Amino acid sequence: MPYIPFTEEQKITANSVELADFLRMRGERLERAGREYKLIYSDGSGRHDSITMSGSTWFDHKNQVGGGAIKFMQYYYDMNFPTAVQELLGQRITPLSHAPPKAAVREEKPKNFKLPVANENMHRVFAYLIKQRFIAPEIITYFAKNHTLYEDKEHHNAVFVGVNENGIPRQAHKRSTSTFGRSFRQTVEGSDTKYSFSHFGESEKLFVFEAPIDMLSYLTLNPKNWQKHSYIAMNGVYENAVLTALKGRSNLSEIIICTDNDVGGIDAADRLKDVLRENNYVNISRILPKNKDFNEDLKQLNGVEFLPAVPHSRKQRYTAVISELQKLECDADRLLSNLNLTLKNEQYKYLAEYALSGSAFFLRQAGCKADFDQLCIKLRKEYRAYTDKAHRAQKQRDLRDKVSEVGRDLKQLARTYEQSVKTAKKLYQLADCALKICADEVENIAENCELSEQESDEEVYAQELS
């Protein structure tokens, strides 16, 4: 394939393609998940839904990797940089039947699920969980007696088993007990992701964790009457097993999310809240570990080195900008010109203040009691960092589109109650768009790193051809 010198505009356009629409046109299966979409695919280890996407960004929660549209084509379809850009720009469309190897793997029939052969004892698993992870022996013994935790014979991994409603194993997750080298974790081939390592009690409470060791650590820290409640480990940060557990047990009505205290865990908690609310579960709360996760809390209590919590800088920046907003006097006749002027001058904070002040103004016109400060609280509460991963150029385009939409709405002369509320809502959304740009650093580090990586890929590809 000849070297193609793409322009910066072409690369930005390709990287800003709406992935859900693009993949749907190519026959991929997608499911709605809160404000995102999940890509549903199968390979030799079973059915998967760990890849989520919003706009032009995506994230594989199982493998903890993500990025923009170009990187997705490289990651999922094994395309080189030029081919990925051409596909996204519509210059070249590869039929699914001729897709690269990784896409073809998705069409393989799932393998039958079979538990790893159990070892005759659990000496290594007990030693690892007690001495390295500081899990209480009685907690380990409970799950071992219930045959949902054991040691495999071949490699002496800890095996965490997920059973269905009839107690039949349907999923298993292996974790190495070695204290040397890189940690090994793997879901057993043929596992059904609707089930996961768990315990179900009779109370209304369900505690949700990212991984089995997080769950065992929490039980060690909170042992009092723990068996009366329910607990489940997602083996990642997607919700399939959680929804299955809730729908199959009518006593469960209160969900406590216990994901990690880092960027991934915080995003996962927000995303899971949205998915649960879409499924009509409203009694949802959050328990944060003091450090990165509950096992790190256990390590700290036992005086060994531990990983601290990782602040969500994007979320913190958005919240900080909101705290700086000042209410402005709203002149309905001049509001549109003020919005256009601040947009032209890239004064995004002023634009947000005008938009939010205007939203409060039209809510008062409709007889609603919400004021400027209450709208700020609402913005802070509703912000979802996991959906705010677009590049600055895309955010600016979204903002311009939203200003145009508000402009058309503000030209109405007579207003009903419904029209005033509708205008207030659009101005509120406009404020959110402006705040997301404000919250970004002057130079978007993530965007620059990704584009630099893509340019490097292109240079390497050109050198290979020369």
Q: What integer best gives the mean pLDDT of the chain? A: 86
DSSP result, 276-320: HHHTT---EEE---SSSSHHHHHHHHTTS--PPP---HHHHHHHH
CB-hemisphere CA count at 13 Å for 79? 23
Greater model confidence, 379 or 445: 379
Give pLDDT, residue 415: 79
For residue 4, what pLDDT is reported? 63
The confidence score (pLDDT) of residue 441 equals 59
335-344 and 392-410 helices cross at what angle (nearest 10)?
160
Q: Is the per-residue pLDDT at 52 higher than 90?
A: no
The two structure tokens encoding residue 260? 């990690």
Query: At residue 201, does pLDDT exceed 70?
Result: yes
pLDDT number for residue 261 = 96
Q: Are 25 and 32 in contact (CB under 8 A)?
A: no
| Of 32-36, 54-58, 370-374, 436-440, minimum mean pLDDT range | 32-36
Q: Is the dihedral of CA 311, 313, 318, 320 positive or negative?
A: positive
pLDDT at 347 over 60: yes
Query: What's residue 105's pLDDT?
Result: 41
Q: What are phi and psi of 341, to 5 degrees?
A: -65, -45
pLDDT in tens, 250-308: 999 999 999 999 988 999 999 999 999 999 999 999 999 999 999 999 999 999 999 99
Would you say 318 and 383 are in contact if contact means Cβ atoms under 8 Å apart? yes
Region 148-175 average pLDDT: 95
pLDDT value at 190 more than 50: yes
- Residues facing 256 on adjacent strands: 207, 285
Q: For 6-38, how does the pLDDT look when each residue is reduced to its tens digit (9 = 90+)?
A: 788 888 888 888 898 888 877 788 888 767 888
**Alpha-carbon gap, residue 387 to 407, rounded angstroms:** 25
* Burial status of residue 453 (CB atoms within 10 A of its CB: 0-12, 13-18, 19 or more): middle
| Segment among 144-153, 202-211, 226-235, 383-392 with least mean pLDDT | 383-392
Instruction: Assign 3-class secondary structure to 54-91.
Output: ECCEEEECCCCEEECHHHHHHHHHCCCHHHHHHHHHCC
Comparing 67-71, 146-150, 202-206, 349-353, which segment has the lowest mean pLDDT? 67-71
pLDDT at 146 over 90: yes
Nearest Cα residue to 106 out of 40, 174, 181: 40
Q: Can you give the pLDDT at residue 355?
A: 97
Q: Which two tokens stand for residue 362?
A: 């039209």
Q: For 172-203, b where at least 16 C-beta lie within 10 A, e where not — what string?
A: bbbbbbeeeeeeebebbebbbbbbbbbbbbee
Q: What is the pLDDT of residue 104?
A: 40
Per-residue pLDDT reduced to its tens digit, 392-431:
887 898 899 999 999 999 988 777 889 999 999 999 999 9
Going by pLDDT thresholds of 50, 70 and 90, the confidence category of residue 1 is very low
| CB 313 within 8 Å of CB 277 | no
Q: How confident is the model at residue 171, as a pLDDT?
A: 93
| Mean pLDDT on 384-394 | 83
Estimate the share of the chain in helix, then strand, then coil, as percent rounded to the nearest 5: 45, 15, 40
**Residue 282: its pLDDT value, please?**
95
pLDDT tens by residue, 102-116: 444 444 455 689 999
